[in-house]
Amino acid sequence: MKKPNRMTVILADDHAVVRKGIREFLEEPGDIAVVAEASNGDEALDAIRQHRPDVAVLDIQMPERTGLEVTRTLRTEQLPVGVLILTAYDDDPFVLTALRAGANGYVLKTAEPEEIVAAVRAVHQGQSALDPAILGKVMSQFTGAPPPGTVEPLTAREIEALRLAAQGFTNKAIGVQMGISDRTVQGHLANVYGKLSVGNRTEAVTRAMQLGLISAA
């Protein structure tokens, strides 16, 4: 049961030591309770669906699903949870993509503990929370369509499927090598096309090489 006037938080990061440190300073003031932790995106979604926290604190790069994918799924399912992205990435494309995915805040891990606690409280109160280090440049660009460089991170499985596709393997052959069905391969590649804003394999491979996601070898 959630205690009155005590906000509940799900904490998702693939590094246990990082989670431990964040949890300690979040709970120190006494008005925040971390009700569950997750080490990957799938665990984060399961925990959020089960516990229905007030705020989900998510890293961007996690196994299975990125924090951005988790955010987008939460908004699609219309779960009433605030989302604070807590990450080391301060690149404009990541910030803009996170906000467009439905995140309520974006704070860097280099922020002071009290700043992160304040961001969690702000998100819980329905406010936006942006790290001062990125606020200015983000707000100057956060208009209209996503800029050309805005790309959501690919998961490890999506990159592997794309790498094999670049080598000329069919979906069935890729599935054999990855130990998954060709339908799942098709799903991975469809996600890649959407994230890279392309329409076919050739465009996806070309774009991925330009971004350095896969090599030509």
pLDDT at 3 over 60: no
What was the pLDDT predicted at 33? 96
Is residue 192 helix, strand or coil?
helix
The C-alpha angle 47, 53, 54, rounded to 5 degrees, equals: 150
pLDDT in tens, 152-189: 788 889 999 998 988 888 889 999 999 999 889 988 99
What was the pLDDT predicted at 146? 46
Mean pLDDT of all residues in the chain? 86
Check residue 153 and report its DSSP letter: P
Residue ranges of domains in the chain? 7-141, 156-211
According to CATH, the superfamily of the domain at 7-141 is Response regulator (3.40.50.2300)
Amino acid in the structure at residue 201: R
Q: Say whether domain 156-211 belongs to CATH 3.50.50.60.
A: no
Determine contact, residues 34/11, Cβ cutoff 8 Å.
yes
User: What confidence tier does 144 reach under pLDDT thresholds 50, 70, 90?
Assistant: very low
User: What confidence tier does 1 reach under pLDDT thresholds 50, 70, 90?
Assistant: very low
What was the pLDDT predicted at 148? 47
